[in-house]
Structure 1
Amino acid sequence: MHAKLETRAFLAMLVGVSVAFILLMKPFFGPIFWAIAIALIFHPVQLRLARRFGDRPNTNALMTLFLCMVIVVIPVLLLVASLVAEGVGLYQKIQSGDVRPGEYIDQVNQSFPAIQSFLAQFDISFAELRDRAVNLVVSGSQFLGKQALDLGQNTFQFFLGLALMVYLAFFLLRDGVSLVELLIRALPLGDERERLLFAKFAEVTRATVKGNLLIAVIQGAMGGLIFWVLGIEGAILWGVVMAIVSLLPAVGAALVWVPAAIYLAAVGDVVQALILTAFGVVVIGLADNVLRPIMVGRDTKLPDYIVLLSTLGGLAMFGINGFVMGPLVAALFNAFWGIFIREFSRESPITQAWLRGNQAKDPGKADTPEEKDRTELR
């Protein structure tokens, strides 16, 4: 009795200390998560370096981290800086009256009056949609301006988070395998299940981050390029915006280039509108409809609609980190239920062994309705 009490007290303290530690790490959730993602994505690179230069953990981890900084971190920082700068410039132009979003929408309405008639059939007010669209553009530019201000005021906090991410990524690259083995020993889920779940976690993280980010870069670059070729003002801004909205499967960059094509047609630039539409459907749309299922959906073994819903839910719950966290939670949900169905279905060896064990303890007890009927017949 005394030993059971000690065990229960220890387990309660273990849970309490673990929860306290998680709460302690909560402010650094972003840097920790992205450090784990970097370690998972660049682990194959580290293995190649280890095969080439030998077992030198510190050197290989540093070289891998340097490649990550050059290939990923620095370009992303430059991209974010460009987005903020372009957004601030757009907001200033809206405030000064050089850019009037409402006039652009009115121009579309005057050129295509059928749009208003079509919306009226569904009791949708074009004027209300116009006001909402204008407010959305103004709010978006204000948000980017606020982010620029916050970044300037919280420069230390931003670079602290970046430094923590890089610092943690080094140790995860160097000691990641041993840490995973330690977790497998510590967790009480069964070694085989834990290895399966860790493998699924790594697979989904790699597929989602690499797939989504690569698709976003491709669509944003292609969108910004065609906007620049057609002479549309703010090509860098709209290219970055297309890269961001392309994180949403099925809709993506079309949220930007479709309205732009409609406006070009409304102002009489029909050739440019046709070029933009063709380019958007064939080139930009091809990257979304072909590459995304290959790089994200198939690797994660998730249907496209689950990828879409989990991405939207993740963005709503976790913010920008949600485009990875959402599909990751969905994939782990799928993995857990797969384990449950495989191991605890009536036909599985584990369940059959459990049934035989119960029958051995109580031969007169039937564990299923079918067995109960057979017992009563006997």
Structure 2
Amino acid sequence: MKPIDEESRQFVNNMVESAIRIGLIFILVWGTFHIVRPFILPVLWGAIIAVALNPVVNMLSARIRGKRTLAVTLVTVASIALLISPFAMISTSIYDGLMFLTDVVKSGQLSQWTPNPAIQDWPLVGPSIFDGLTYLSLHIKDMIVQFLPQIKVVLSHLLATFGSGLGSLVMFFLSLVIAGVFMAASEPISQAIIQVFERSAGEHGTRWANMLSNIIRSVLVGVIGVAFIQSLIISAALFTFHIPAAGLISLVILVLCIAQLPAILPLLPLFGYMYLTADTTSFIIFTVWGLLAGLSDNILKPLLMGRGSVVPMPIVVIGSLGGMMYAGIIGLFLGAVILSLWWGAFTVWLKIDQGKALT
């Protein structure tokens, strides 16, 4: 039997060695995190996009005789074009709108504009609105001079937002390239992910891995896809009828649709604008077009969201909205995935518990 002092010394040595090892591991993890931190978000988006687009790559690869690399390249290039083209169109529209407003203010055209006298016939608020618009048209230059500091602040925020939009565009461009790499090596990556889930969740690992891939596709199609389709239809109406600042309004509508807010809200003042400035036929067509597009998500979401998923749609919707409020757009997917994992664990536990009760 060893003396007590020797046992104490050995215990202290083991504790010191363990502390050193844990400290080295912590330093390694801390350094690795800070090195890869700039790439975490693009890699996450790349993985999400790869999971969503991989069925498209598989279908295209089968049509071109198994040339997967070519299929991945075509899908990636098409995705980049779909990303850049609307951004370039919206940016051009915003720039043209700002230049138009600047030219109008400088030339004094607003002072020559008078509101439609028919506004005075509106019940209750008509005369007040007409007087306000008349005063605005006559004193617009004085108001701009008076509120010039506030206007500069707003413009600076708009420029900062536009700059962050360019940064997001670069980030998504990088994410699409990363997604292309993931899709090109989808087989070994999927096998590795399934092995990780099997080590973590046992016999349920494969089912959970498939469940999460279905959830990601469901959210991407049911939220981002529906938002893109809805904003595209509304944008087509805005550009068709030459609505001022159509690009900026389209961007606002896209953000509202992704945030699951009614797209009809920014259209309501546009209906009034068309009523005042356009002929009756154009007003009716634009109003019907806008109403149908603004309410189309009520039809598209039940059709597209939750398809192929074993998780109830309320779980997916709550996870997506809660995740977005907590972590932004990436939270749409992370929130749905986390709640889906909890749902899967709950159902597995419930079945095991019921099995024990029956035996």
In the superposition, the TM-score normalised over structure 2's length comes to 0.67
> Counterpart in 1 of 2:159?
145
Q: 1:154-202 CA deviation, whole Å, 9 max, x = no partner?
A: 7xx965x466434432331233332333344345422333323322321
Could you say what secondary structure the match of 2:290 adopts? helix
Among 288, 291, 307, the residue aligned to 1:281: 291
> For 1:256 and 1:91, how far apart are their aligned partners in 2?
19
Displacement of 1:288 in angstroms is: 0.9
> Counterpart in 1 of 2:332?
326
Percent identity over paired residues: 17
The 1:9/1:177 distance shift into structure 2, 3 A limit, reads farther
Unaligned runs of 5+ in 2: 1-9, 127-149
- Is the Cα–Cα contact under 8 Å of residues 208 and 327 in structure 1 kept in the other structure? yes
Counterpart of 2:259 in structure 1: which amino acid? L
Among 232, 237, 251, the residue aligned to 2:262: 251
Q: 1:249-299 CA deviation, whole Å, 9 max, x = no partner?
A: 3512x12222201333356855544433322223x0353110122112445
Counterpart of 2:187 in structure 1: which amino acid? V
1:205-244 matches, within 5 Å, as: 205-244=216-255
- Is the Cα–Cα contact under 8 Å of residues 310 and 326 in structure 1 kept in the other structure? yes
Among 270, 292, 299, the residue aligned to 1:290: 299
> Counterpart in 1 of 2:180?
170
- Is the Cα–Cα contact under 8 Å of residues 31 and 165 in structure 1 kept in the other structure? yes
Q: 1:1-41 CA deviation, whole Å, 9 max, x = no partner?
A: 99x98999978976775565444322123321221123212
The 1:311/1:337 distance shift into structure 2, 3 A limit, reads closer
Could you say what secondary structure the match of 2:296 adopts? helix
> Counterpart in 2 of 1:374?
none
Counterpart of 1:317 in structure 2: which amino acid? Y
1:35 aligns with 2:46: yes
- Is the Cα–Cα contact under 8 Å of residues 315 and 326 in structure 1 kept in the other structure? yes
Counterpart of 1:263 in structure 2: which amino acid? Y
> For 2:20 and 2:207, how far apart are their aligned partners in 1?
31
- Is the Cα–Cα contact under 8 Å of residues 76 and 180 in structure 2 kept in the other structure? no
> For 1:27 and 1:176, how far apart are their aligned partners in 2?
23
- Is the Cα–Cα contact under 8 Å of residues 43 and 173 in structure 1 kept in the other structure? yes
Q: 1:223-250 CA deviation, whole Å, 9 max, x = no partner?
A: 2332344342344443444334222335
Counterpart of 2:181 in structure 1: which amino acid? F
> For 1:104 and 1:21, how far apart are their aligned partners in 2?
64
The 1:28/1:49 distance shift into structure 2, 3 A limit, reads same
Counterpart of 1:39 in structure 2: which amino acid? A
> For 1:240 and 1:171, how far apart are their aligned partners in 2?
29
Displacement of 1:77 in angstroms is: 1.0
Counterpart of 2:305 in structure 1: which amino acid? V
> Counterpart in 2 of 1:68?
76
Indicate the RMSD between aligned Cα atoms, in angstroms: 4.6
Displacement of 1:213 in angstroms is: 3.7
In the superposition, the TM-score normalised over structure 1's length comes to 0.64
Could you say what secondary structure the match of 1:196 adopts? helix
The 1:107/1:91 distance shift into structure 2, 3 A limit, reads farther
> For 1:42 and 1:342, how far apart are their aligned partners in 2?
29
> For 2:226 and 2:324, how far apart are their aligned partners in 1?
17
Could you say what secondary structure the match of 1:189 adopts? helix
1:317 aligns with 2:326: yes
> Counterpart in 2 of 1:371?
none
> For 1:288 and 1:47, how far apart are their aligned partners in 2?
28
> For 2:21 and 2:118, how far apart are their aligned partners in 1?
69
Could you say what secondary structure the match of 1:339 adopts? helix
